């Protein structure tokens, strides 16, 4: 009978994939397999490099270029992959419950990512569950491919465009990259005079990003928008979306032929169906070790983690949890599970103290962003604009895909 500790990782994107492989690496003894049973529960068989989804609608990338199969890199490192959907967590019996099985664990890592909350605004998002939606999305691979079809249609019959992030959203970087890539494509197709572009956001100013006062981000973002012909509206609340119009809270209608609006995120159903696991929004309150505040056998990383906004804004804004931030959280969680098993000390890394590394792509240029802390106070926050940012993102994409598909994180 295998008496090794059982570690179950729910989710297989940046948080789950990183945590599983770091656990396997840290728990490997000599030439043997890991000194724990590690199982990843995933509702998909492929890893998707989410930062590249901004390019899919414009046919700059394909599905095959931004994904790779999960099984080989995981199993190569002694990690089992179970394709299933977690429905809830039974913390009393320490089991992950799916539709037809119960998977026991000694330690649990929750790296599920978010539930995309289109229902926050009537008419937001694509059609879903019998509800009509009028805007497009790049929040997952299928959404991005559907948006590509809509973009192809738009090029045959262009008109006004509305892009942005609604109240409560947190993934502002994707919205900025998408609108700047769209503006680049509009110019490339010779449509600049026929396609007015409006960016709407819940942020109190451009370049707030849900984190606030990031160096010269406000000035630089405004300069990019002016140069690329993008009008902007800040502190906006979207009341609803109807066919051809984004309707704001004050009743103003912004007409569109094409619209992409980032929604708020919520915790996934497996968390909200598990009493005491998450907060009211379905996110998990963790210590600086990324261990659950009330359950020493449960850890979490990535979007599933609850992070309060650093300050109040006129319109609610969430805090972004990028792929880099997610991987840093996952590494700390993995380290501390190993420490639990071996009786060693935990390490701590408060979310606010994680360093920031980000590239904002704008088609053929962009901005490299780096800071010592993602949230204030910071000793530095540097922004480097120019075409080197675009090339840096391309290079990082290739590096990430080449290493991760071989199981290195």
Domains, the chain: 6-115+266-353 (3.50.50.100), 117-264 (3.50.50.60)
The pLDDT of residue 102: 98
CA separation for the pair 127, 136 (Å, rounded): 9
Residue 298 has pLDDT above 90, yes or no: yes
Task: Tell me the average pLDDT across 249-263.
Answer: 98
The pLDDT of residue 28: 85
Question: 372, 355 in Cβ contact below 8 A?
Answer: yes
Residue 1 has pLDDT above 80, yes or no: no
Residue 189 has pLDDT above 90, yes or no: yes
Residue 358 has pLDDT above 80, yes or no: yes
The pLDDT of residue 34: 74
The pLDDT of residue 52: 98
- The verdict on whether 358 is a catalytic residue reads yes
Task: Tell me the average pLDDT across 149-167.
Answer: 98
Q: Is the peptide bond before 377 cis (omega within 30 degrees of 0)?
A: yes
- CA of residue 309 relative to chain centroid, distance: 16
Per-residue pLDDT band for 178 (boundaries 50, 70, 90) equals very high
Task: Tell me the average pLDDT across 301-329.
Answer: 97
The pLDDT of residue 80: 97
The pLDDT of residue 129: 81
The residue annotated as part of the active site, out of 40, 333, 358, 371, is 358
Residue 144 has pLDDT above 90, yes or no: yes
Question: 7, 39 in Cβ contact below 8 A?
Answer: yes
Per-residue pLDDT band for 32 (boundaries 50, 70, 90) equals low
Percent over 90 (pLDDT), the chain: 96
The pLDDT of residue 288: 98
Per-residue pLDDT band for 209 (boundaries 50, 70, 90) equals very high
Backbone angles phi, psi at 306, to 5 degrees: -80, 125
Instruction: Name which residue leads in pLDDT, 33 or 299.
Output: 299
The pLDDT of residue 33: 65
Residue 266 has pLDDT above 80, yes or no: yes
Give the lowest-confidence range in 1-15, 140-154, 176-190, 318-332.
1-15
Residue 141 has pLDDT above 70, yes or no: yes
The pLDDT of residue 353: 97
Question: In 3D, which of 8, 3, 12, 4 has the Cα closest to residue 102?
Answer: 8
- The verdict on whether 171 is a catalytic residue reads yes
Question: 366, 389 in Cβ contact below 8 A?
Answer: yes
CA separation for the pair 348, 327 (Å, rounded): 15
Rg (CA), the chain: 21
The pLDDT of residue 287: 98
Question: In 3D, which of 405, 393, 327, 400 has the Cα closest to residue 55?
Answer: 393
Is the pTM of the predicted complex or chain greater than 0.75?
yes
The pLDDT of residue 118: 97
Q: At what angle do helices 217-228 and 172-188 cross, to 10 degrees?
A: 30
CA separation for the pair 228, 226 (Å, rounded): 6
Task: Tell me the average pLDDT across 328-335.
Answer: 98
pLDDT tens-digit readout, 282-293: 999 999 999 999
Residue 31 has pLDDT above 80, yes or no: no
Backbone angles phi, psi at 69, to 5 degrees: -65, 140
Residue 327 has pLDDT above 90, yes or no: yes
Mean pLDDT of the chain: 96
The pLDDT of residue 228: 97
The pLDDT of residue 86: 98
Task: Tell me the average pLDDT across 201-214.
Answer: 97
DSSP 225: H
CA separation for the pair 79, 73 (Å, rounded): 9
The residue annotated as part of the active site, out of 171, 270, 333, 338, is 171
């Amino acid at each position: 009978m295998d008496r090794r500790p059982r570690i179950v990782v729910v989710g297989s994107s940046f948080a789950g994939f990183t945590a599983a492989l770091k656990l396997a690496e840290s728990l490997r003894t000599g030439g043997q397999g890991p000194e724990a049973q590690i199982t990843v529960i995933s509702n998909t068989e492929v890893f998707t490099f989410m930062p590249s989804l901004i390019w899919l609608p414009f046919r700059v990338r394909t599905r095959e270029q931004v994904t790779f199969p999960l099984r080989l890199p995981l199993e190569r490192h002694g990690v089992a992959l179970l394709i299933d959907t977690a429905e809830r967590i039974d913390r009393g019996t320490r089991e992950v419950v799916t539709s037809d099985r119960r998977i026991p664990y000694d330690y649990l890592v929750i790296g599920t990512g978010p539930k995309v909350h289109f229902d926050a605004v009537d008419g937001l998002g694509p059609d879903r569950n019998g509800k009509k939606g009028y805007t497009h999305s790049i929040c997952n691979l299928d959404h991005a491919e559907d948006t590509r079809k809509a973009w192809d249609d738009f090029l045959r019959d262009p008109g006004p465009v509305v892009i942005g992030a609604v109240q409560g959203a947190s993934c502002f970087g994707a919205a900025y990259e998408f609108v700047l890539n769209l503006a680049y494509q509009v110019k490339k197709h010779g449509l600049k005079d026929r396609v007015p572009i409006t960016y709407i956001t819940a942020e109190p100013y451009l370049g707030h990003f849900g984190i606030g006062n990031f160096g010269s981000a406000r000035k630089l973002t405004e300069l990019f928008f002016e140069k690329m012909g993008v009008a902007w509206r800040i502190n906006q609340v979207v009341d609803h979306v109807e066919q051809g119009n984004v309707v704001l809270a004050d009743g103003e209608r912004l007409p569109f032929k094409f619209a992409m609006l980032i929604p708020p995120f919520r915790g996934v159903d497996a968390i909200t169906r598990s009493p005491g696991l998450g907060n009211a929004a379905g996110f998990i309150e963790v210590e600086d070790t990324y261990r659950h505040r009330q359950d020493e056998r449960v850890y979490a990383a990535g979007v599933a983690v609850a992070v309060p906004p650093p300050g109040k804004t006129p319109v609610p804004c969430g805090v972004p949890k990028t792929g880099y931030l997610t991987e840093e959280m996952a590494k700390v969680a993995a380290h501390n599970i190993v420490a639990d098993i071996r009786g060693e000390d935990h390490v701590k890394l408060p979310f606010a103290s994680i360093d920031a590394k980000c590239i904002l792509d704008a088609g053929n240029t962009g901005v490299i962003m780096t800071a010592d802390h993602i949230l204030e106070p910071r000793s530095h926050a540097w922004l480097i604009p120019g075409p080197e940012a675009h090339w840096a993102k391309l290079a990082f994409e290739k590096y990430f895909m080449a290493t991760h598909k071989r199981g290195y994180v």
